[in-house]
Amino acid sequence: MLPKIVHLTSAHPPFDVRIFHRECVSLAQAGYKVVLVAPHEQDEVRQGVQVRAISKTHKGRLGRMLGTVWAVYKQALAAQGDIYHFHDPELIPIGLLLRLQGKKVVYDVHEDVPTDILSKNWIPRPLRGLVALGMRLLERLAGHLLSGIVAVTEPIAARFPAHKTILLQNFPHPQEVAALEDRPYAQRPARALYAGSITAVRGLFEMLEAMQQLQDSPLRLTLIGAFAPSALQAQAAQHPGYRQVDFLGYKNRPETLELLSQSRMGLAVLHPIPSFLVSQPTKLYEYMMAGIPFVASDFPLWRASVGDTACGLFVNPKDPQAIAGAMRWLLEHPAEAEAMGRRGRQLIVERLNWGVEFDKLTALYARLSRTGAPRSQEA
């Protein structure tokens, strides 16, 4: 009998790519009974996953970190899972509480949270170091007491006990790779695509500056996602480069994949803040999956992730002129750009795909089901 898996999130949308599409759906397809507790409008079953909705009435960070977290805990108990797998650092206290009740609990660490805290503008600067230290200590406690740790990058994995930690990278799902329309590159519109949270530190204004410098070209920038904070959209709309922008808001997974297949290049020019330097370049993999070259921040970890494969251009993300120059080069050299896209897609098909990663996750669950605690890092 396969264990019943209950995934928990208080901060992510219910159909998050990593949580829902990669982990939960893959588990359901493999025969697991899967419950996802997440903020949503209603309970429903989607793609074999039972979604248990948490009310979105709790507003603000404090409301979410108190009211929403407590609601997640109550739903977690009601779900009666064999293994609980949570995805937000604010859920560490309930993860520890579930563990104290004898439950098997896994913490999925999406980012280097203590480092990320040092760049949070909503935390007063004098307090950031203290808050970061507190989170580091809390995560250290979680690493020792919880049943298993799932880390998205090697630098994050290195902060937790090796014997109970697995590396589970955000590579594209083979089913999405196979289903994505391989549209001839020459038939794609002159579109640069950015998909994800739209923020200043993720390069919003550098992208706008670059588009202003490209106003003599047919290239347009398509933004998919949400502005954070929402008031940032009005500020961006005042920028001259915004005239060459198509903001489409949130798009579901099929719509996003369709837009990927209709673009010439993808952008990921995140600022070199500490947390981004150790983050995984998920956007790069999705652009590669779609057979389009990328223009991306020149971070050592990002370069290492694609190795010697020439499938995009790395630039200084704080230099709009360099970003514009890379975009112009790809637009004016379509044969070379198409070849980059083909190499990137091949790398995804052969090595950087979710099929390999998913085996690690099921191996972790199998160890927990047998022993209550993993004994080896090997999958």
Which residues are registered as beta bridge partners of 224?
A: 195, 249
Q: Is 248 left (phi over 0), alpha (psi -120 to 50) or beta?
A: alpha
Work out the percent of the chain whose per-residue pLDDT is above 70: 95
User: And the tokens for 48?
Assistant: 């074999």
Whether the per-residue pLDDT at 58 is higher than 80: the answer is no
Whether the per-residue pLDDT at 378 is higher than 60: the answer is no
Mean per-residue pLDDT of the chain:
92
Mean pLDDT on 356-376: 79
**Per-position DSSP letters for 342-371, written without gaps between them:** HHHHHHHHHTSSHHHHHHHHHHHHHHHHHH
> pLDDT, tens digit, for every residue of 6-31?
999 999 999 999 999 999 999 999 99
Domains of the chain, CATH where assigned: 5-171+354-371 (3.40.50.2000), 174-350 (3.40.50.2000)
> pLDDT, tens digit, for every residue of 184-213?
898 999 999 999 999 999 999 999 999 999
Task: Give the model's confidence band at 59: pLDDT under 50 very low, under 70 low, under 90 confident, else very high.
Answer: low
Look up the pTM and report it: 0.85
Tell me, what DSSP letter sits at residue 187? G
